[in-house]
Amino acid sequence: MDLFTNALGLTLLYVALLAIGIIYAVIILIGGGFGGVEAPGAPDLDISGGPDSPESSIPSLSPATVASFVTAFGAFGLIAMGLLNVTPGGSLVWAAGGGVVVAAIAHFALGYFLIAPQGSSEVKFKDILGAVGEVSTPIPADSVGAVTLVAQGGRVSYPAKSLSGSAIARGTTVVVDQVIGGVVVVRPQS
């Protein structure tokens, strides 16, 4: 406990944490230039769901957030003791407060600048409800055919059933009414 009441011990702790944070940042910076090579602890972000999806997020305790906290903790501790002449206990408060603020800023900045702008070409079923398409494989009565439509800027095909249960010929323009288990239920466009 003497380490936390001793100004020299705290200064050494702050310098060590600041150095660890800077070294980590340099490793990430250099490692990022190697493309497929990941630096130790580099965040593995899954952005497959798009910016509005719950799968697309940065965990609160990501390596980048923790590294930001550690670096800021050391920097704010040194600033409090060296420039503000705060007591060793007060410097811990400054260091912790500064670390939390910088980590929160880093967390939200990563989410806003790196994750949110990334879109997805994944077509969600809710996006195709009411869409107009064309029967590409005839839909037999009470069976499955196929429908092709434009979604997310590209042509996609789905297995399709007739809403009324009657056959729909190839080339017929249809409207998607619902999606059941990955099969679109369509009706001829009136």
For 104-136, write each residue's pLDDT tens digit: 998 888 777 776 666 655 667 777 888 899 999
Helix/strand/coil (H/E/C) assignment for every residue in 7-57:
HHHHHHHHHHHHHHHHHHHHHHHHHHCCCCCCCCCCCCCCCCCCCCCCCCC
Token digits of residue 178: 């619902």
Rounded to 5 degrees, what angle do the CA atoms 34, 38, 41 make? Answer: 145
- The string of pLDDT tens digits covering residues 11-30 is 899 999 999 988 988 887 78
Identity of the amino acid at 8: L
Is 100 part of a structural domain of the chain? yes
Q: Which domain holds residue 132?
A: 125-188
**Residue 15 within a domain:** yes
Claim to verify: residue 91 and residue 184 sit in the same structural domain: no
Domain boundary among 63, 94, 115: 115
Domain boundary among 115, 137, 166: 115
**Average pLDDT score, the chain:** 80
Note the pTM of the prediction, 2 decimals: 0.49
In a domain, 120, yes or no: no
Q: Do 35 and 107 belong to one domain?
A: yes
Confidence band, pLDDT 50/70/90 cuts, at residue 36: very low
CATH code at 179? 2.40.50.140
115, 141, 176 - which closes a domain: 115
